[in-house]
Amino acid sequence: METIDLDLLGLAAGGLTTVSFVPQVLKIWRSKSGQDVSYGMFALFSAGVGLWLLYGYLLDAKPIIVANAVTLCLALVVIALKYHYRPRA
């Protein structure tokens, strides 16, 4: 496969993976509740995505960099919304 084809494949895969977080962000935002979201899962996921981002940077692989940068931002938004809408005593 040519490089451009591989980049498009990578962008498509990364784009779909990244967009999969949008429904979760919207659900938390609309319901004003992140009660069912696990801090632990999103913390580990964010760490893994951060490593993928570093890996993409070290390889100078733009599809990996773009997809994981956006995914990391969305994951951090989920964590922030969960904290913002936490039940207060």
Tell me which CATH code domain 3-85 carries.
1.20.1280.290
End-to-end distance of the chain based on CA atoms, in angstroms?
Answer: 58
Q: Packing angle between helix 62-84 and helix 22-31, nearest 10 degrees? A: 20
One digit per residue, pLDDT tens: the chain, 89 residues? 677 788 888 888 888 888 888 888 899 889 989 888 888 998 999 999 999 999 999 999 888 999 999 999 999 999 999 999 998 87
Report field, pTM of the whole predicted structure over 0.85: no
